[in-house]
Amino acid sequence: MTARSLPRARLGLLSVFSFALFLVLPYSGRAADIGETVKLCVACHGEDGRPSEADMPVIWGQQFYYLYVQLKDYKAGRRQNEIMNSIVADLDREELKALAQHFSEQSWPANDFRATEADVASAESAANSGMCVQCHLGGYEGNSGVPRLAGQKLGYLERTMLEFRDRVRLNSQAKVSLFATYDAADIRAMAHYLAGF
């Protein structure tokens, strides 16, 4: 690299860094009117953050960037769900970010579910072999683009892991590869463990 190209290289790195920050930092603008869309969301995900359906995920208090990426994946068709695909179809980037920000700012709802000792022992062994805490952290609360799993709905956890294992959900190739190594009993135990964490 010559002395003349150094400032240009720094400018390029600065541009890349600025763009990356824009993508990962929480959305702070409120220009997007998402009120009607929020009403659609809580109809399934719960007005108090507790979904009524067993396999519907908790999104209140979920990680901002994870929510945003999932909404983008639904919009792009990388993740399939007839209801979600239709809800986000006409939303723009700012509206997707505003929705992710809105739900990430809510409090995660408490749940009373507890796993059995047998499920905990089996799940801890499976989680250790998959090194789950490396990304989801020790309390399974996630971080940025990595979702919180602790206290998530049991049915949703089990369905999601099975969908990764069975190559139904393909928007995370790392998870597809990981869950291909687990049998149904491991997945069931992990779902119980995480739901009661």
Domain positions in the chain are 35-104, 117-195
Domain 117-195 belongs to what architecture?
Answer: Orthogonal Bundle (1.10)
Domains 35-104 and 117-195 share a fold: yes
pTM: 0.81
Give the tens place of pLDDT for each residue, 179-195.
Answer: 999 999 999 999 999 99
CATH node for 35-104: 1.10.760.10
Residue 155 to residue 192: CA distance in whole angstroms: 9
Long-range pairs for 163-170: beta carbons < 8 A, 24 or more residues apart: 169/79, 169/80, 170/78
Work out the burial of residue 67: count CB atoms within 10 Å of its CB; fewer than 13 is exposed, 13-18 middle, 19 or more buried: buried
pLDDT surpassing 60 at residue 8: no
Q: Given this model, what pLDDT does residue 12 score?
A: 43
**pLDDT over 90 at 27, yes or no:** no
